Amino acid sequence: MSFKKVRVRFAPSPTGPLHMGGVRTALYNYLFAKKHGGDFILRIEDTDQKRLVDGAEDYIIESLAWCGIEIDEGVGKGGDHGPYRQSERKEIYKEYANQLIESGNAYYAFDTSEELEQMRNRLKAAKVATPQYNGVTRETMKNSLTLSDDEVKSRLASGEPYTVRIKVPRKEEIRIKDIIRGWVVVHSSKIDDKIIFKSDGMPTYHMANVIDDHLMKISHVIRGEEWLPSTPVHVLLYKFLGWEDEMPEFAHLPLLLKPDGNGKLSKRDGDQLGFPVFPLAWTDPQSGEKYSGYRENGYFPEAFLNILAFLGWNPGTTSEFFSLEELINAFSLERVGKSGSKFDLEKAHWYNQHYLRAKSNKELAELFIPILNENNYTADVEYVEKVCGLMKERATFIPDMLEGKYFFERPTEFDETTMKKKWKEESPSIIADLREVIESIKDFTSDNIERNIKDHLEKHKISIGLAMPNLRLLTCGVGSGPSIFDVIALLGKEETLSRIDGSLELIQKQQPVN
RNA sequence: GGCCCGUUCGGCUAGGGGUUAGGACGCCAGGUUUUCAUCCUGGUAACAGGAGUUCGAUUCUCCUACGGGCUACCA
């Protein structure tokens, strides 16, 4: 099968925002496709018209775009195998449903939901472990297998609602070769006659997915593990449709679990977990409820992707940082693990911090300026770039650099703990001396300032552990931050001096000396 | 309940019949620093349990336990 062109699809249903597990599935599909020079296709599985959510489709497309996952073909892109929205392929499915009925591999079923319910209850009462519509029970139901041809025809003609069910053989071993899990064998007696065509004229996932994958020439189906149990039905469908030889290969991905180890991550988890489950922020159009996203929480797409890639996959080396390009090169389905994994928030922070620090001051400033503006700070780009240069070492997310807000406003408050610990009786006179030193520095560079101040402190045997925090307190209002010499060099001599004066005045007014 | 999938440090994971079971994150300690952060060094900590196969099992097989998925006219 390696001669076949690799074509994979990501096929979400637009029932809400994509969550991070979905993004990971898309990513693995994309990586696999690109690794093998293949196509990545986006197909929208909207066969359940009742569950459609406004904006979901756009959200999916925007999420992939934010991550840098490019669609080669599909919704939002076009291509030769369209339409790529299943609701627009209705007629195609109908044709194949008929074909399956004609070949005796599917049948009409007229049972109402009440009748189905009754059947299940009856079986439950009879202590049948798994009540299902199968080779045995179908004999007792209303379908084209039990009804006469005339009856079926008249029911159909009268417009009575019907579904189409696959006729699962009674005794047959169905073998699935999964790239990640190896051979999985399921006996057909454990599978029920799944509905493949609904009474509303739409196919169910099972049939639509098989037909589309075939028609779209999909070579590999890479999807979540939750699909493994229904894969035998899909395999049967390929066989009944006569496509067995061209059946795609399967790879069922382990699931992303909740951090408490209880179940798979789901859209419903929203923000309950202490981290976003969505790539982008989302507002539910019905309830108006808002959910945060990685993008809005300050994650970089490259960090998000790197994190996601490593949840269930690893390159087999000790390298941890991979660009999308590098992921493509390193990726293989064989190196995808079998067991579910939990999102590691701490490590996610670490990744983001790494990517933040890898950015140039210019890039950082571009991202930081909007945040500054939101907080009513303005400054010219060059200045912000320098601030970023000083703050980037201590930030995980862009907004963390707001910690250095004192670069943009004079301090009006002074960190209480530091005041208590460091503001002593002698502080005003230490500062007065320091002020003179600072004023006398001609070339106002960090190195110069440092040398002058340290010389002065040494010469007069003044505690550096007192003088420096005092200076920081007066100029910044806080007890910690980047090198104070760097800070005041950036602030400039004039600003530094005037801050010292202003702060001194404020402190003398408000703070008692310890 | 039934069917299917899984199980290595706290979480993410490497490894694979004989290893001091490796790595990064976190955490702890030390160093550097005016401070915090960074950075450097070191440390902490894991093969779910039981049988079997074998000279030897964390690795292979089976059982049990635990976790997960599926069990809809949802995907």
Q: What is the pLDDT of residues A265-317, one digit of tens each?
A: 888 887 888 899 999 999 999 899 999 999 999 999 999 999 999 999 999 99
Domain with CATH 3.40.50.620 in chain A: 7-75+209-256
A177 in contact with nucleic chain B (CB within 7 A) = no
Count other Cβ atoms within 10 Å, centred on residue A112: 11
Rounded to whole angstroms, the distance from the CA of residue A244 to the C1' of nucleotide B62 is: 34
Protein chain A, residues 57-96, with a C-beta closer than 7 Å to any atom of nucleic acid strand B: none
Give residues with Cβ within 8 angstroms of A241, minimum separation 6. Answer: A96, A99, A100, A210, A211, A214
Q: Sort strands A195-197 and A163-166 into parallel, antiparallel or unpaired.
A: antiparallel
CATH 3.20.20.70 for domain A89-207, yes or no, is no
Q: Which residue has the higher pLDDT, A46 or A127?
A: A46
Q: What is the pLDDT of residues A402-443, one digit of tens each?
A: 999 999 999 998 888 888 888 888 888 889 999 999 999 889
Q: CA–C1' span, A344 to B9, in Å?
A: 15
Q: How much is the pLDDT for A236?
A: 97
Structure tokens at A511: 């703070």
Q: Two tokens at A239?
A: 């066989």
**What are the DSSP calls for A286-355, one per residue?**
TT--EE-BTTTTT--HHHHHHHHHTSSB--SSS-----HHHHHHH--GGGB-SS-EE--HHHHHHHHHHH
Compute the distance between CA of residue A509 and CA of residue A320 in angstroms, rounded to an integer: 53
**CATH 1.10.10.350, applies to A416-510:** yes
Distance in angstroms (rounded) separating the CA atoms of residues A39 and A253: 19
Q: Is the CB of A132 under 7 A from strand B?
A: yes
Which CATH fold would you assign to the domain A360-405? Helicase, Ruva Protein; domain 3 (1.10.8)
Which nucleotides on chain B have any atom < 7 A from a protein Cβ?
A: 1-8, 10-15, 22-26, 33-38, 67-75
Torsion of CA A251, A256, A257, A259, to 10 degrees: 150
Residue A229 CA distance to nucleotide B5 C1' (Å): 9
Q: Report the nucleotide nearest the CA of residue A132, measured to C1'.
A: B71
Q: Is A264 helix (H, G, I), strand (E, B) or coil?
A: strand
A200-222 average pLDDT score = 97
pLDDT single digits (tens) A103-144: 999 999 999 999 999 998 888 888 887 889 999 899 999 999
Strand B lies under 7 A from the Cβ of residue A195: yes
Lowest mean pLDDT segment, chosen from A79-93, A256-270, A383-397, A492-506:
A256-270
A281 CB neighbours strand B below 7 A: no
Domain A282-356 top-level CATH class: mainly alpha
Q: Is the CB of A116 under 7 A from strand B?
A: yes
Task: Please return the burial class of A145, using the count of CB atoms within 10 Å of its CB with bins 0-12, 13-18 and 19+.
Answer: middle
CATH 1.10.1160.10 occupies which residues in chain A? 282-356
In contact, A477 and A412? CB cutoff 8 Å: yes
> ipTM of the predicted structure?
0.95
A449 touches strand B (CB under 7 A): no
Residue A288, CB, less than 7 Å from strand B?
no
Provide long-range contacts, Cβ within 8 A and 24+ apart, for A210-215: A210/A234, A210/A237, A210/A238, A210/A241, A210/A243, A211/A92, A211/A93, A211/A96, A211/A241, A212/A9, A212/A11, A212/A43, A212/A86, A212/A89, A213/A9, A213/A248, A214/A238, A214/A241, A214/A243, A214/A246, A215/A81, A215/A92
Write the DSSP string, A54-77.
TTHHHHHHHHHHHHT---SEETTT
Q: Determine whether the distance from the CB of A310 to the nearest atom of strand B is below 7 Å.
A: yes
Q: How far is the CA of A425 from the C1' of B60 (A)?
A: 76
**Average pLDDT in the A69-76 region?**
96
Our measurement of CA A138 to C1' B73, in angstroms, reads: 16
In CATH terms, the fold of domain A7-75+209-256 is Rossmann fold (3.40.50)
The answer, yes or no, to whether residue A1 has pLDDT greater than 80, is no
Q: How confident is the model at residue A511 (pLDDT cuts 50, 70, 90)?
A: low
- Protein CA A262 to sugar C1' B26 (Å): 22
Residue A251 to residues A74, A99, A315, A337, A485: CA-CA distances in angstroms? 21, 28, 18, 11, 57
CA distance A180 to A173: 20
Provide the CA A149 to C1' B72 distance, Å, integer.
28
Nucleotide in closest CA–C1' contact with A178: B5
Catalytic residue among A4, A77, A217, A267: A267
Question: Is the C-beta of residue A481 closer than 7 Å to nucleic acid chain B?
Answer: yes
What is the distance, to the nearest Å, from the Cα of residue A450 to the centroid of all Cα atoms in its chain? 46
In this structure, what token pair is assigned to residue A224?
A: 């979540």
Is pLDDT at A360 greater than 60 in this prediction? yes
CATH 3.90.800.10 segments of chain A: 89-207
Closest residue (CA to C1') to nucleotide B7 in the complex = A339
pTM of model > 0.95: no
Spatial separation of the C-alpha atoms in residues A42 and A370, rounded to whole Å:
33
Amino acid at A121: N
* Residue whose C-alpha is closest to residue A511's, from A412, A419, A417: A419
Residue A267 is a catalytic residue: yes
HSE at residue A431, side-chain half, CA atoms within 13 A, is 26
